[in-house]
Structure 1
Amino acid sequence: MTGRPAILFPLFAGLETLAGVGPKSAKLFAQIGVERPRDLLFTLPHAVIDRRLRPTIRGAVLPGTVTVEVTVGAHVPPRRKGGPARVFVRDAETEWQLVFFHAKGDWLQRQLPTGQRRIVSGRLELFDGIAQMAHPDHILRPEEAADLPAFEPVYPLTAGLGQKAVQKAAAAALARAPGLADWIDPALKAREGWPGWAEALHAAHAPRHLGDVAAEAPARQRLAYDELFAHQVTRALARVSVRRGKGRATVGTGALQSRVLAALPYRPTAAQTRALAEITADMAAATRMNRLLQGDVGAGKTLVAFLALLAAVEAGGQGAMMAPTEILARQHLESLRPLADAAGITVEVLTGRDRGPERAVKLAALARGGIHILVGTHALFQKEVAFRDLRLAIVDEQHRFGVAQRMELAAKGLTADMLVMTATPIPRSLSLAQYGDMDVSVLDEKPPGRKPVRTALVSTARYDEVVGHLRQALAEGRRAYWVCPLVEESELVDLTAAEDRFRALRAALGEGVVGLVHGQMAPAEKDAAMERFVAGRTRVLVATTVIEVGVNVPEASIMVIERAETFGLAQLHQLRGRVGRGAAESTCLMLYQPPLSEAAERRLQILRETEDGFRIAEEDLAMRGAGDLIGTAQSGLPKFRIADLERQSALMAVAQSDARKLLADDPGLAGPRGAAVRVLLWLMEQDRAIRLIGVG
C-alpha cells in the first residue's frame, strides 16, 4: 500500500467540503486544532446539556439549564437606554421572566406573542429572588418540540465559533465516517464490551448523560484505545526495525564481572541482579538490544551499567558511555575508575576539551582496542572517533535523547547494543508512551547502606537560624548545597538571586568557604567551581538547579532548597537525591515562603512522607498532568486528542503488549487484522510507522 487508502479520502478533504463550513469558519476551526473532517471526529464533546422538557421550573437546580413550555405574558420595555427588556411567562406552576438586552421590539413580539404557548430552553438563574432566563438558547412553537434534542453535546469553542456551528459540522463529519474493518483484537473487544469504531464515534458525539462524557464510557475508552494502540504499533515497528538492524551476539564469560563483584564491599540488590540478567540476555541475542534502565536516585544504575560494559569487554569488544555534559562524563569516569582497576581494564574519557596530540593518542588507542571502555559526551559519535569493535553503547539521561536520536545512532551502522539510563522515575503509563519502542528494566530498591535523608520544611522567616545550623555543621566538617531559584534579580519575581545569596553566605560563613555555580557561567568556570567543591576546598556550594542531574559528592550531607515551593516535585526529589550518598546522616531543608498554595503544600508534604521516586512521579502526574511532567515539546510525548495518559495508563500497557504480539504474529501486517491496522495507522497519521513497514 503506497498511499492513504481511498476509503479515508473524505475524512482528509478540506474542512470547507462540509456543509455549513466556509473559509471564515474554517479559520476559526483551525484555532481549536480542527483542519479536516477527521479532526472533528476526534474532537469529542466535553459536557452534555440536558434539554428534556419539564412541566415547571419549580424544583430545578439553579443556576442551570431548563426546558419548559410556557404561556407568554406581558412585555415590559427597557426602563433606560441599553437596559433589559423583560417578558413575563407562566409555566404549569409558577410565573417568571425572560430577559433580553438590545433586542429590537418587533423581533421580541414576533418571537414571543403575548397569550401564545412557546417552549423556551436556556440557563435559568435567580436575581433578587426572581427566576430569570437571559437570552434563551431556543424558542420553539409546541409543534416544533421534536426539533430540540433531549441531550445537547457541548464542544470546545473559540471566540467567534458557536456551539451550533460545531454541532452541525461534527454531524456532517460523522456522516462521512466509513465502515472500517476492526483493528482491535476481537477477544479484547469482547472482554471490554467495546462498540465498533463507527458506532463508538456516533455514541461519543451523542452523549445521553454525564456518564457518557467520562473517560470510562465504553465508546470513549474504545476511541482512546485506538489512539494508544496506533501509537504503540508505531513504537513496536520502530523497535522491530532497530532489532532488524544487524545485531551481534555478545556473550560475556563472567570473569571480569566476578572480579569486580568480589572487590565490592556489599552485594548487589535483587533489582540490580535482575536488571543485569535482562541486559546480558539481550546482549547475548543476535538482535540489537534497545533497552531503558530506569532507576531512582541512588538505586545503583552505574554498577549495573558497568557490569554490562564488562560483558562487552569479556566478549572481546568495547563499550561506550555517553553523558549529556562534560562534568557528568568526568564524574562517570571517576566512579568507574576504581571498578575498572578491580577488573584490570582501561577506561578513558573523551570530551570536546580533548584537542591536539592528546586527542590523537586516545583515538589511536581506541582504534586498536587499547581502550576497553570510553566515557564521553556526544563527541563520542563524531565521524573521526572509530572503535575497533563497539559492542555496547550506553546513553545517560534520556530526556535529551529522543527516539529520533536513537534511530540516528542505529543508522550510523552501529551494530552495537543500546542501553539508555535515566535517573528520573517515570510513571509506567508515561514510560510506555515515551519509550514504547524500548524494553524497560527498573531498579526499584536502594542498595544497602544508603541512609534515608531527613526532610524538614522551614519557613524563610527562620533563615538566620538555618545559617546558624549550617555554621555549626561546617565546624563538624560537613559539606552543603544551597540551591537558589533564579540567577539574576528580576523585577517580576522577587526570588533571591544566587549571586546575592552567595555574597550573604560568604559574609556569614567566611571567605573561601562558599562557592557558586549557575547556568550563565562558562562551562570551564562551572567545572572549576564544581571541582573545588568536590575536592573540599569550598564547603558550601550555592547553585541554581544545574546540580540536579548526576552530580556525586558523597561528603555533601546537607541540602538547603530555597523557595522550595517554586520547584516541581520531580525536581525537588532529584535535588534531595544529591545528598545521602555517603556515610553521614543527611538532611534536606526546604525553605518556603508562606502562605503556601494548596498544591505547593501537597508537593512538600509528599516529599516529607516518601523517598520513593516512583510514588513521587505518580503523584506528580496526578497533580500536573502528562504534558507538564516532562515538558511535552522536548519529550517526544505524543499529543492525544482523546486518550488521557493520567487516567488511562492501564490501557496504554494493554496497547503495548497487543501491538508487540500483533507484530510477532504478523510482522508485515499482511493478514486481515494487519490490513485493518494499516488503515488505522493512516487514519491516525502515523506515517512514520507506514514507512517502517515499507522498509520491511
Structure 2
Amino acid sequence: MLVTQSIIKTTSQSPLNQTIQYLKGVGPKRGEILERLGIRTIRDVLYYFPRDYKDHTKIQKISKAKIGAKITIQGKVLGVHARISRNRKHIVEVFVGDGTGTIAATWFNQPFLTDKFHIEDTVFLHGKVGAYKYLQLLSPEYEIVQNEDISEKEGSIIPIYPLTEHMSQTHFRKIVEEAVRHFTGHVEEIVPKELMKKNRLIPIQDALRDIHFPKTFEHLKHAKSKLIYDELFILEIAMALRRWSIKEETGISFKAGPNVDTHIRNLIPFTLTNAQERVIHEIKNDMRSSKPMNRLLQGDVGSGKTVVAIYAILIAIANGYQAAFMAPTEILAEQHFHTLKKYLMCSHVRIRLLTGESHARYKKSDLEQVKTGQVDLVIGTHALIEETVQFRKLGLVVIDEQHKFGVVQRLKLKEKGSCPDVLIMTATPIPRTLSLTLFGDLDISILDEIPPGRSPIKTLWIPNGKEKNAYDLIRSEVAKGRQVFVVYPLVEESEVLHLKAAVTEAKRLQHDIFPNLRIGLLHGQMKSGEKDKIMTDFKEKRYDILVSTIIIEVGIDIPNATIMVIEHAERFGLAQLHQLRGRIGRGNDQSYCLLFGYPKTPISHERLKIMTKTCDGFKIAEMDFRLRGPGEFFGTRQHGLPELRISDLIRDFPILVQARKDAFEIISKDPHLASETHQKMRQKVLETFRNRLELIHIG
C-alpha cells in the first residue's frame, strides 16, 4: 500500500463534510440540482470555483460610451421591445438609462428574453458599443439585480459560475456566500509554514474567500496562486510517495557484465545510435540495482525502442528469469513476436505468443510451459493478465504503447511476479508538463535520435481539387516498386457522418483510380487469420496499395512503403496523424505523407498545418497538448489521477515545477509523513486519492 491502513483517519466528522442541506437557501429541490453539478457537501461548494468574473469596479456612464469600446454600465430598464426583422429574425431590444444617457441592449433570435426584463429593473450590462439609429450593445452579458443587492454589486468583482439552466447565478452566489461566511474557518492549512513563507502564499481561508468574492484583482491573483499551488502540491506529494514506495521495495539485482553485453550485441545486426546506447546504460544501471526498475521509455516513431527492450529482456533471461511483453492489439503483438523471433533466432531464447485469438489447444500447452519455466519470453495482448497465465519466475515486464492500457491492467501484469522490473514504452511523445504529472513517479528515458540513413518524411496537405497530383505521385512510386497505405476513419459508410469509408473506397480506388494496381483491404472487423494473411501479402508485395482503417496506427513495419495517404485527415488528432505517418519512412527511400483534409474548424485547420511543418514528435506532442488539453491527451481518468479543479498544466507549469520540488524534498526527509507538521498533508492525500490508493502504485 502507498500508506498503511493505520494512518487512515475518518474525516466524516468535519463540518465541511455535511451535506449542502445545512446551507441557508438550499432545499431538497435545489439540492438535487447542485448534486448534478457534483456539489454534495459544504466542502464541494467552497471548492466549486468561478469560471469567470465581471468587473463592476469600472462602471462607466452611458454618456461616455465610445463606438467599438467594451464597457460595463449600470442602469434601469426604461422599455422592452420585441420585433421580427425583414429576414425573419427575432429581435429583442431592452432600453436602459443611467441618468446620463440611454442605450439599447440588443439580442437576436432569443425571444424568451422579452419576459426576463421589466420596467424599473436594475441591470448591469457588459458588451461592445455599436450604433444603429442609436447607441446599442449587441448581445451583451447581463445581470438583473434586486434593489437590496445593488450596493454589493456596485464597485465589486462578480464571480460567474458554470451552472445549469435551473440555477441562477444570483441564487448560487448567495449559497456560496453562506458557505464562505460560516465555513472557511474550518478549512485546514495543508502546506507547511516554511513553504508558505518561501512561496509567498496567502492562508487557505483567505484564498477561498478571495477566489469567490475578491475585493480587487490583486486579491484574486493571490487567491488563484495559492489554490493552484495547493492542488499541484498534493498531486506531487502523491507522486513522491509512490516513487519512494517503489524504491523501498526489494527487487531483483540482475548481473549485466561484459559477457552478457557481448552476447546481446552479437544478436543485434547493426550499430546502435548514441541515444540507444545512453538509454541502455540507464536501464542496465536500474536492473543491476536491488530496487525495482520503474522506467518510462519515450521514443519517436522509428527511433529503435524495440531493440532497447530486447537488451533489457535478454539481461533478465541471462539471469534465469522470464520476461513478459504486453502490446495493445493482436496485430502489434504479432508484429513484435515476429520481430523478436528474427533477432533471437541465433539464441536459445524460448519465445511464445499469447493473444485472445490463440488456438485453445496450443494455448493450454503454452500456458503450462510458461508456468513451469520452459518459456523465457511471452509476448501478448491483455490476454497476459488473465488468471490462467502464471509465470514461474517473472523478472521483467515490458509494456508497449502503455497509454492504450488502463492502470489496473498494468498492475495485474506486474503482480504476476515478485517485484519485477518494469519498462514502459510509448511512441507517443509526452509533453514535459504531462510527464511531471501522469508519470511523475517514473524515471524517464528519451530516444531522441533517428537511425542514420533515413530521410525526413515530406508531408503535404492535399486540398479539394488537387487529388490528381497526389494520384500521379502514387503511380510513380508504385512504378519504382514502392508500396502505399491509404487510411480512412471508418470501415463502412455512415449516413450520419458523411465520411468516406475503407470498404467502399477500396472498390472505388480499384475500379476508377488505379485499375492496373493491386489493392488490398484491412480493417478491425476482419477475423485474426484474415488480417494476418492481408498483412503478410502486403509485406511480400502481393499488393501495391493497402486500404485500411487506423488499425495500422501502431507498430506495423513495412520498410518498402513510402506513401501514407490519410483521408479525412481533419478527423484525426495530432498524435494519431503522427503515429500513422510513422508507418512509413522506415527504409532509406524518400517517403511522403499525403493529408486529404477538409477542415471546418480552426483547430482541425491548425492540426493539418502543424503536420506539414514538423516531423518532431515531441514538438507535435506539445502542440497537441495545447490544442486538446490534459484531460483528453491520454484520458486522465485511466491514470487514477484526480480531476484538476483550478490548475492548468500549461499555464501553471512554473508553479507545477516548484510544487514538485517542494513535495519531493518533504518525502525525502519524511517518507511516511509521520511528523506532526505533515499530518494535515497526509490526511489530504488520503481524501484526494481515497479510491485510488492502489492506482498510485503504477505508472
Pair in the same fold by TM > 0.5: yes
Decide which of 496, 502, 506 is 2:506's aligned counterpart.
502
Decide which of 61, 74, 77 is 1:67's aligned counterpart.
74
Decide which of 160, 164, 167 is 2:173's aligned counterpart.
167
In structure 2, the residue matched to 1:449 is 453
In structure 2, the residue matched to 1:200 is 207
How far does residue 52 in structure 1 lie from its aligned partner after superposition? 3.9
Cα distance in 2 for residues equivalent to 1:103 and 1:268: 72
In structure 2, the residue matched to 1:325 is 329
| 1:282-301 map, 5 Å | 282-301=286-305
| 1:468-507 map, 5 Å | 468-507=472-511
How far does residue 306 in structure 1 lie from its aligned partner after superposition? 0.7
How far does residue 244 in structure 1 lie from its aligned partner after superposition? 4.8
In structure 1, the residue matched to 2:162 is 156
| 1:19-168 map, 5 Å | 19-52=24-57, 56-60=61-65, 64-67=71-74, 91=99, 93-94=100-101, 121-123=124-126, 128-131=132-135, 137-138=144-145, 140=147, 145=151, 148=154, 150-168=156-174
Look up the equivalent residue of 1:12 and give its one-letter code: N
What are the superposed Cα offsets for residues 352-404 of structure 1, whole Å, 9 maximum, x if unpaired? 44446644554455455443322222333444444342211111111232322
Decide which of 22, 25, 35 is 1:17's aligned counterpart.
22
Contact 2:570 2:597 in 1 (8 A): yes
What SS does the corresponding residue of 1:177 show, helix, strand or coil? helix
Which has the higher Rg, Structure 1 or Structure 2?
Answer: 1
Decide which of 581, 584, 593 is 1:588's aligned counterpart.
593
Contact 1:256 1:343 in 2 (8 A): no
What SS does the corresponding residue of 2:437 show, helix, strand or coil? helix
Cα distance in 2 for residues equivalent to 1:141 and 1:488: 62
| 1:123-272 map, 5 Å | 123=126, 128-131=132-135, 137-138=144-145, 140=147, 145=151, 148=154, 150-174=156-180, 175-178=182-185, 182-184=189-191, 186-208=193-215, 217-262=221-266, 264=268, 266-272=270-276
Cα distance in 1 for residues equivalent to 2:14 and 2:288: 47
How far does residue 670 in structure 1 lie from its aligned partner after superposition? 1.0
Contact 1:42 1:642 in 2 (8 A): no
> 153-162 or 363-372, which moves further after superposition?
363-372
Look up the equivalent residue of 1:482 and give its one-letter code: V
Cα distance in 1 for residues equivalent to 2:560 and 2:329: 22
How far does residue 308 in structure 1 lie from its aligned partner after superposition? 0.8
Alpha-carbon RMSD across the aligned residues, in angstroms, is: 3.6
Decide which of 411, 414, 422 is 2:426's aligned counterpart.
422
What are the superposed Cα offsets for residues 313-333 of structure 1, whole Å, 9 maximum, x if unpaired? 222222221112222222112
Contact 1:238 1:689 in 2 (8 A): no
Cα distance in 1 for residues equivalent to 2:382 and 2:104: 72
Contact 1:398 1:422 in 2 (8 A): yes
What are the superposed Cα offsets for residues 195-254 of structure 1, whole Å, 9 maximum, x if unpaired? 1221211121123456766xxx33213212222232333344344444555522222234
Cα distance in 1 for residues equivalent to 2:562 and 2:32: 58
Cα distance in 2 for residues equivalent to 1:97 and 1:454: 55
Look up the equivalent residue of 2:176 and give its one-letter code: A
What SS does the corresponding residue of 2:398 show, helix, strand or coil? strand
In structure 1, the residue matched to 2:109 is none
Contact 1:556 1:579 in 2 (8 A): yes
What SS does the corresponding residue of 2:196 show, helix, strand or coil? helix
Decide which of 389, 394, 414 is 1:390's aligned counterpart.
394
Cα distance in 2 for residues equivalent to 1:131 and 1:441: 62
Query: Sequence identity of aligned pairs in percent?
Result: 35
Contact 1:681 1:690 in 2 (8 A): no
Confirm whether residue 622 of structure 1 aligns to residue 626 of structure 2.
yes
Cα distance in 2 for residues equivalent to 1:351 and 1:38: 47
Cα distance in 1 for residues equivalent to 2:356 and 2:656: 40
Decide which of 543, 546, 563 is 2:568's aligned counterpart.
563
Contact 1:250 1:391 in 2 (8 A): no
Structure 2 unaligned regions, length at least 5: 1-6, 84-89, 107-112
Contact 1:60 1:66 in 2 (8 A): no
How far does residue 581 in structure 1 lie from its aligned partner after superposition? 0.6
Contact 1:48 1:208 in 2 (8 A): no
What SS does the corresponding residue of 2:296 show, helix, strand or coil? strand
Cα distance in 2 for residues equivalent to 1:415 and 1:690: 15
> 20-29 or 352-361, which moves further after superposition?
352-361
Cα distance in 1 for residues equivalent to 2:195 and 2:383: 47
How far does residue 610 in structure 1 lie from its aligned partner after superposition? 1.0
Structure 1 unaligned regions, length at least 5: 113-118
Contact 1:242 1:407 in 2 (8 A): no
How far does residue 458 in structure 1 lie from its aligned partner after superposition? 1.6
Q: TM-score, normalised by structure 1?
A: 0.86
> 676-685 or 662-671, which moves further after superposition?
676-685
* Structure 1 pair 460–529 and aligned structure 2 pair: CA distance change class (3 A): farther
> 355-364 or 493-502, which moves further after superposition?
355-364
How far does residue 430 in structure 1 lie from its aligned partner after superposition? 2.1
What are the superposed Cα offsets for residues 291-328 of structure 1, whole Å, 9 maximum, x if unpaired? 22121111111011111111112222222211122222
Contact 2:16 2:186 in 1 (8 A): no
What SS does the corresponding residue of 1:39 show, helix, strand or coil? helix
Confirm whether residue 372 of structure 1 aligns to residue 379 of structure 2.
no
Decide which of 427, 436, 457 is 2:440's aligned counterpart.
436
How far does residue 101 in structure 1 lie from its aligned partner after superposition? 5.2
Contact 2:640 2:696 in 1 (8 A): no
Cα distance in 1 for residues equivalent to 2:558 and 2:302: 12
Look up the equivalent residue of 1:193 and give its one-letter code: R
How far does residue 513 in structure 1 lie from its aligned partner after superposition? 1.6
What SS does the corresponding residue of 2:159 show, helix, strand or coil? strand
> 565-574 or 51-60, which moves further after superposition?
51-60
Cα distance in 2 for residues equivalent to 1:439 and 1:151: 45
Look up the equivalent residue of 2:532 and give its one-letter code: D
Look up the equivalent residue of 1:664 and give its one-letter code: S
Contact 1:288 1:417 in 2 (8 A): yes
Contact 1:290 1:439 in 2 (8 A): yes
What SS does the corresponding residue of 2:428 show, helix, strand or coil? coil
How far does residue 89 in structure 1 lie from its aligned partner after superposition? 5.2
